[in-house]
Structure 1
Amino acid sequence: MRYSLKTAVAAIALTVGLSPIAYADDASDASKLYKAGQLNEAIKKIDSVLAQRPKDAQMRFLKGIILTEQNKQAEAITIFTKLTDDYPELPEPYNNLAVLYASNGQFLKASAALEMAIRTNPTYGTAHENLGDVYAKLASQSYDKALQLDSGNSTAKLKLNLVKNLIGNTTGGVNPKTSAANPAPIATIPNTPTIAAPPPNRATEPKATPAPVAQNKPAAVTSEKDVVLDVVEAWAKAWSSQNVSKYLGYYAKDFQTPNKQSRSAWAEDRRSRIEGKGKIGVRIDDPNVSIDGNSATVKFKQYYTSDRLSSTSRKTLVLTKQDGKWLIKQERSGS
């Protein structure tokens, strides 16, 4: 079966302590071989790099893409699964796992992987579209089963026909489309180089029509608590990626700064603590969200890691809804 979902083909650069020039040369060489269709040579180049830098996320990610194109699905699944273990903050490996699972008819596994991608990055459009396609396929299977049990169920028959028209067939998801003018989308990661999309005339992934049936699924309904939690996770992601401007943007103008600092002094202090500090990782766990009107309180366990420090603490964020957006008004550490 051809892939019915969109594959992420972004470069991932998370290597710490590597010369930028050497890193760029390695990425460029591997990219050139990949674009030229010299996949075996590209794999050799990547393996030589990984022998020296086994944790190099970009080289591992590109190897997974190449193995996918070579129909070595089991090996590709191993690559992307290990990437999700080592770099759980990245959505692209989860997305590509979903593509592989869906190509094998494992749609429940595909949906779980895509939900993790979206939880990691709620604004990752490719994963949202792919999840709609997977929901459509699961809906097709359920309607088909309903008709097997009751062939006279006219409602199920109508819904099944609608889904068939959407996904194009009943065995492999959306019919694939190949066009040099419509390459697979490049999923980008802030402040990282990007490997180009496949060269002209290479088969690319289809652009699927959004699934109308997905909007009727309970999982697609977003509660206000989910919206608040998405904001908190996006805040943690911005902190992890050291995107200070985006990180500060999650704080309200009337944020209650510690020690009654001025907003500008506090912001400058946060910038000096975050920027240029090597690798930073911020993960939230066991969140509890409560909402009272335009105020929300989120309590969670925060895991912080950097090149010099690892810590676990309880954190409370109080958010306020201003102009339709949830923003942080208070931040407290401790129980």
Structure 2
Amino acid sequence: MRHILKNVLTLSSLSLLLMSAYVRADEAADVGKLLRAGQVNEAMQKVDAALAQRPKDAQMRFLKGLILTEQNKSAEAITVFSKLTDDYPELPEPYNNLAVLYASSGQYDKARAALEMAIRTNPTYGTAHENLGDVYAKLASQAYDKALQLDSGNNTAKLKLTLVKNLVGNTTGGTNPKATVAAATPVASVTKASASAVAMTKPEPETAKPEPKAKPAPVVATADKAEEDVLKSVENWAKAWSNKDTNAYLAHYAKDFQTPKGEPYKAWAEERRNRIEGKGRINVKIETAKIDVDGNTATVKFRQIYTSDQLTANSRKTLHMVKQDGKWQIKQERAGS
């Protein structure tokens, strides 16, 4: 299990490097050269120097977590990756690395929770899906082993345990088409796991909605107009964000907006203003929006394509909106759902 997860984690570093197309590539390449040469301490010095100038640099913080793991400083690596998940909840890679460390120490329930968060953040993240399958296999192995401890004559449990152990232990069969790319990419060869606990529930599978009952024409027209108004508000919110027009951006939030960590609205707004205005370039696109309007409330689920000088992220987002003073405003926002 540990060997399997280490291999797929190599791809996590590659994924983040590819996402960070506008990040200082030369610095990352230099760190990669040092690591490949076994100069781990020198690599850490270079990363620390970069972070001293840019404390929020997502890629350098990610690399620091990898280096700390290379140095067998798991507790410190856990702190780094945990903070990354707080600051960039839309990135699945830190959650995947988190799961690898948990799995390597036998904490499979925590590994499962972290992988479910990675998948919830990016449902198309194949590495996390594969890792989750491995973790479930290990959990099944533990359950069958416990069953045999309670009843050593349970032949069915013996057979299942053998099958699962063979599955989990098969690290040589097959090839991963991504592995070749990763091996040729700077830094990828030194990537290992790092982590911290992030609890979450397994996302509920989407169920088909029943066919709506026929409504009189005037009601349908009203519902369509409401959805159009909601979508227009969300698009204007993304446009203000892209233009770094923080006054217009913050105006899209309701008076009773529920801040992510329960902090006072004023503190949250100031933090958002500093983060947005501190970026050299921002572009936010809204794709595949699904809108559900119920009177003066609405739920909008969409894919958010975010690009800045530091990173590019493709993630799911949900906005809960209310109509106040004739305008649709955001009451709550969540990433990864």
Shorter-chain TM band: 0.5 to 0.7
2:222 is aligned with 1:256: no
3-state DSSP of counterpart to 1:139 = helix
Deviations along 1:159-183, one digit per CA (max 9) or x if unpaired, are: 1111011011xxxxx6479999973
3-state DSSP of counterpart to 1:75 = helix
Q: Specify every segment of 5 or more residues in structure 2 that has no aligned partner in the other structure, as ranges.
A: 194-200, 210-223, 251-256, 261-267, 277-295, 302-317, 325-330, 332-337
Deviations along 1:47-75, one digit per CA (max 9) or x if unpaired, are: 11122322222111011122223433233
2:94 is aligned with 1:123: no
For the 8 Å contact 2:44–2:64, the answer to whether it is kept is yes
Cα distance in 2 for partners of 1:65, 1:176 equals: 25
For the 8 Å contact 2:113–2:202, the answer to whether it is kept is no
2:298 is aligned with 1:316: yes
TM-score norm. by structure 2 comes to 0.57
Alignment of 1:78-157 (within 5 A): 78-157=79-158
Deviations along 1:96-146, one digit per CA (max 9) or x if unpaired, are: 011011111111111111112122222222111111100100000000010
Cα distance in 2 for partners of 1:109, 1:277 equals: 38
Q: Which amino acid aligns with 1:63?
A: K
Cα distance in 2 for partners of 1:87, 1:79 equals: 12
Number of the residue aligned with 1:38: 39
Number of the residue aligned with 2:188: 198
Number of the residue aligned with 2:48: 47
| CA shift in 2, pair 1:81/1:3, >3 Å | farther
Aligned length: 244
Cα distance in 2 for partners of 1:142, 1:34 equals: 39
Number of the residue aligned with 1:183: 179
Alignment of 1:236-255 (within 5 A): none
Cα distance in 2 for partners of 1:87, 1:203 equals: 20
Q: Report the CA distance between 1:32 and its aligned residue.
A: 3.7
Identity across aligned pairs (percent)? 53
Number of the residue aligned with 2:242: 275
For the 8 Å contact 1:14–1:56, the answer to whether it is kept is no
Q: Which amino acid aligns with 1:121?
A: N
2:206 is aligned with 1:224: yes
3-state DSSP of counterpart to 2:153 = coil
For the 8 Å contact 2:35–2:187, the answer to whether it is kept is no
For the 8 Å contact 2:16–2:93, the answer to whether it is kept is no
Q: Report the CA distance between 1:149 and its aligned residue.
A: 0.4
Cα distance in 2 for partners of 1:92, 1:271 equals: 24
| CA shift in 2, pair 1:258/1:221, >3 Å | closer
Q: Does 1 or 2 have the higher relative contact order (CA < 8 Å, sep 6+)? A: 2
Q: Which amino acid aligns with 1:4?
A: I
Between Structure 1 and Structure 2, the one with more helix by share is 2
Deviations along 1:5-59, one digit per CA (max 9) or x if unpaired, are: 12111336999xxxx68x4443343244335543322111001112232222211
Q: Which amino acid aligns with 1:307?
A: R
| CA shift in 2, pair 1:98/1:309, >3 Å | closer
For the 8 Å contact 2:34–2:40, the answer to whether it is kept is yes
Q: Please report the RMSD computed on the Cα atoms of aligned residues, expressed in angstroms.
A: 4.6
| CA shift in 2, pair 1:59/1:160, >3 Å | same
Number of the residue aligned with 1:307: 273
TM-score norm. by structure 1 comes to 0.57
Alignment of 1:287-298 (within 5 A): none
